[in-house]
Structures are given as C-alpha cells and as structure tokens.
Structure 1
Amino acid sequence: METYIIILLCVASFFAGFVDAVVGGGGLIQTPIALILLPNFPIASITGSLKIPGISGTSVAAFHYLKNVTMNWKLLVIMALFSCGFAFLGSELLTMVSNDFMKPLLFGILILLAIYTFIKKDFGQHQIKELTETKMIFLGIIISSFIGFYDGFIGPGTGSFLVVAFITILGFDFLHASANAKMVNVASNIGSITLFILKGKIIWLIAIPMAFCNAFGGWLGAKTALKKGNGFIRIFFLIVVIGTLIRFGYDVFFKH
C-alpha cells in the first residue's frame, strides 16, 4: 500500500474523530474517503478496519465527557449491552448481504431531521425530565437495539442518530446527549469489531495509524464541545446532518 494513501486516511480519520466527538457521524468523513482510496478491498474489510479508529476516537471522547458530564449509569449499561449484541448481529449480516436498500429510507429521515432542527431553535438546548425510570430504560433498549444493529450493518451516521434519539425520545440536551451517545457507540463498536476480528476482515496496516489520529481528533472535539456548549453543538449538528444528506443523496440518486 502506498504511503500517501495511509497519510490521507490518517488525515480523514483525525477530522472524523473531531466531528464524531462533537455530534457524531464521523464515519461520514472517513468511510467514503476509504472507499475511494481502497477500491480493490472488499466492503466488509474496509468497514471492519474503520471500526478500529472509530472506537479509538469515540473512547477518548467518552472518557473526556465522563469527567465533565453526569451520566445515567443504569440506563447506559443496559443500552450498551443491547447495542453491543445487535451491532454484532448487524456486522454478521453485512458479511452476507448488501445494505443499499436502507439508503433511500435514511435519506428521507435526514431531510425531516434537518428541517426540524433548523426550525425548532430550542431543540436540544435543555434537558426535559418527564419519563419514569422504567419507561426510559424500555425506550433505551429499543433505541440501542435498532441503532446498534444499524451501526454493525451500515455504520456512518450512528453517532448522530444516537444523539437525536437521546434528545427527542429520552429528553436530553445536546451536551448530555453527545456524552451519553459516545458510551453507547463504544459498545456497538466493540460488538462489530469482535465479529470482524473473528472473520479476519481488519486491515491492521491502516487501522492502527488511523486509530491514533482519530483518538487525537476525538480528544480535541470533546474538549471543544464542552467549552462551547449546546449552541455550538446544535450548529455543528446541522452541518453534519446536511453533509450526511449530500452523501446519502449521492448514493441514492447518482451511484449505480
């Protein structure tokens, strides 16, 4: 493999780590770049390899958030277990079938999400505590199961979807949603990585250096998000959602 390819992948991984730490969706940066730079590798091998830098940056960001943001540990442990298990199943399915049929559905959801976030100025600005603990755990199980499976099967945008779920369904603000989403995302990455290692799908030559770059980006992104607060995260979230729309729009309408 050419050295310049590894360097470009590392640069992409740094920016992916930064974006992912702030609001999720870092895979939307490094996944398409990896697919372009590594055209001769199987999709499953690329996806599996990118899980290593993904978990590296997410773990660093999660640790940084842990020191500054209050977590609901009972909810998180339950969600993490379901997220990990269903991500494993999603990755197993990825090695057998194509996931292209999901993209038109996601494209429509993202359009609605971008419009809602732009119009509703107070979206994710405050925490709303209206759910009982039992109901919150029940909803958390559903969220982590579906999004965990999505992470293993498709991947890009998982962090953003988790943030949205924490805000719209569980009533968190942007900062607490980003922090808690990181913990669940780490668990789903563990599930996927376990499957890909067992299948021998990881290209360690690119996975290791990308992991260091992603971790640095994750540290810087989490530090920036904590300093800037909810308003900054909301704007960043809109940018990432629009970027996601462009990516999925291209896949749905132009890529054959």
Structure 2
Amino acid sequence: MELLFVSLASLLAGLVDAIVGGGGLILVPALFATFTQAAPATLFGTNKSASIWGTAFATWQYSRKVQLRWRALLPAAVAGLAGSVAGAWAVTAVDPTLFRKALPLLLLALLVYTLARKDLGRAHAPRLAGRKEALAAAAIGLVIGFYDGFFGPGTGSFLVFAFVRWLGYDFLNASASAKLINTATNFSALMLFAWTGHVWWHLALAMALANVAGSLIGTRLALRHGAGFVRQVFILVVLALVLKTGWDTWLA
C-alpha cells in the first residue's frame, strides 16, 4: 500500500513537473507522510531518484516538438550542475535559515510581477543570440543551480521565470528549456545522496516509472495547449509554493 501511494504521488508530481516544475510540492510531502520515521535526507534522495527520470523524459519529449536553443542550453546545463554541487557544499558551511524566511516573499514578488504583466511569456521572442545568449543562460543555470543545491524549493519556477523575463522566451519554451537544467541539477544532487547512502533503491524503480508516465501526460498537455496554459499552471504552482513555504516558515 505504501508503494502504491508514493507511486501515485510520483505520477502526479511528474505530470505537474513536466508542465512547469513544482513536482516536489507533491512527492516530497507524500514521502514524509508515508515514512514518518525515515531520515529526511533519505526521503529527499529517494525523491530525486524518481524525479530525475521524469524530468529527463520531459526534456526529450519537448526536444521533439519545441526548437530548443541547444547552443545556449548546454552551457547552462553544465553551469547548473556545477552550481548545484557548489550549493550542496555551501549548505554544509552556511545556515540557510535566513534565506528560508525570505523565500515566501521572493516567490510572492515573482507571482505579483507575473500577474501584473499579462503579456509576459505569451510570445516567444528571444532577446539574445549566439555567445551573449549562451553566457546569459549559463549565468541563470549557475545561480539557480547553486540555489537548488543550497536550498531547492521552487527551482523549476525560478528557472522558467528567468528564461521568460531575461531571455524573452514564452512559457512553453521556457519550461522546455528549464527541464534540461533541472535534469543536470537533479543528477548532481542524486549522485550526492547515492554516495552517502540516502536513496531507497527498492522504491526508486516503481516511482521512476510512475514519474515518467506522469511526465508523458504533462508534456502532451503543455504541447497541446501552448504557452497560455503553461503560464496558468505556472501561476498556480507559484501560488502553492508561496502558501507552502510561508506556512512552513512563519506558521508551522
């Protein structure tokens, strides 16, 4: 019964994550609710062992239908991986408590800005090209990759917003691009958790398969309904993140 529950949660997480990110909002609480006595690091590692496959599959699915800007995104993925490793190291030396308190406010500002700019991310009009775009994308990958390794919640949303706001992508292309960076940051985190023995491999296969199935559904929904649909899901996910992180930080 436990495996069935977390697999269903993984499927739903893969669906949401494939559209705009935020699958951790579903799967991580499900793991904590199911395995109340487990070490948090083990549950986070098990979450990564499932979510990386859905994210990688979504990247492949998007690449077949969306013209990804590989010359910019590959350097961004490498930078994201490096940033994630650096962030994971930094969390061993710096207490992230202060950032945890600021996170709901940062997410709220992002939400308000997106709602106020009703045309934001509706049209795909990249502002940069060539080396400038590659450098800008790498900077985004490095900074948000560091954040993912250091703290984590809302990484997908921050990536999507950065690609929309600073590179001029629409929400569909931004979400597709963010999946590649997320795959890289998830890989580095998973390697760290696996190295330290914090992955339950007996759950990983079933959860990974469910996550990939959800990813397939979510990717098809995003591709069928386009940037406007992804923008709406983005707003809902960020709102959920504001409420979740605000509750955890200020009220729990």
Which TM class, normalised by the smaller chain length? over 0.9
Give 5+ residue unaligned stretches, structure 1: none
- Match of 2:167, SS state, is coil
Equivalent residue, structure 1, for 2:247 = 250
- Find out whether 1:149 has 2:150 as its counterpart: no
Unaligned runs of 5+ in 2: none
Deviates more, 1:217-226 or 1:199-208: 199-208
The answer to whether structure 1 residue 25 and structure 2 residue 25 are counterparts is: no
Alpha-carbon distance change, 93 to 9 in structure 1, aligned in 2, over 3 angstroms: farther
Tell me if 1:76 matches 2:73: yes
1:180 has 2:194 as partner: no
CA distance in 2, matches of 1:96, 1:5: 35
**Aligned-pair CA distance for 1:214:** 0.7
- When normalised by structure 1's length, the TM-score is 0.92
Distance 1:56 1:83 in 2: 17
Considering only aligned residues, what root-mean-square deviation do their CA atoms show, in Å? 1.7
Structure 1 residue 210: Cα displacement: 1.0
**In 2: Cα distance, 1:253 partner to 1:115 partner:** 20
Counterpart in 1 of 2:236?
A: 239
Report SS of the residue matched to 1:67. Answer: helix
Contact 1:44 1:94 in 2 (8 A): no
Kindly provide the amino acid, as one letter, of the partner of residue 227 in structure 2. N
* Structure-2 residue corresponding to 1:45: 42
Aligned residues: 252
Partner of 2:188 in structure 1?
Answer: 191
Q: How many Å apart are 1:172 and its aligned residue? A: 0.6
Report if aligned partners of 2:84, 2:146 keep a CA contact under 8 Å in 1. Answer: yes
> How far off its partner does 1:57 sit?
0.7
In 2, Cα distance between equivalents of 1:155 and 1:38? 21
Partner residue in 1 for 2:201: 204
> How far apart in 2 are the matches of 1:207 and 1:97?
30
Matches of 1:94 and 1:39, distance apart in 2? 24
TM-score using structure 2 length: 0.93
Cα separation, partners in 2 of 1:59 and 1:238, compared to 1, 3 Å? same
Contact 2:43 2:199 in 1 (8 A): yes
Select between 39-48 and 239-248 the one with higher mean Cα deviation: 39-48
CA deviation vs aligned residue, 1:118-144 (integer Å, no higher than 9, x gap): 221111101233324333222222211
Aligned equivalents of 1:80, 1:211: Cα separation in 2: 22
**Greater displacement, 80-89 / 230-239:** 80-89
